[in-house]
Amino acid sequence: MEALEDELRTDHTEQLTAPIGAQLGSKLTIEHVMPQSWRDNWPPLADDPDEGAGRDELVHTLGHPTLVTARLNPTLGNMAWDDKRQWLGEHSLLRLTHGTLLNAPPGSGVDAWSSAWDEDRIRARGAYLASVVLDIWPSADGLRAADTVPAIPASRAAGH
Tens-digit pLDDT profile for residues 61-93 = 999 999 998 889 999 988 989 999 999 999 998
Within the chain, strands assigned E span: 28-32, 65-69
Tens-digit pLDDT profile for residues 34-44 = 888 887 777 77
d(C-alpha 86, C-alpha 51), whole Å: 26
Task: Quote the pTM value.
Answer: 0.75
Q: What is the pLDDT of residue 112?
A: 94
In this structure, the number of other CB atoms found within 10 A of the CB of residue 66 comes to 23
Phi, psi of 24 (to 5 degrees): -55, -40
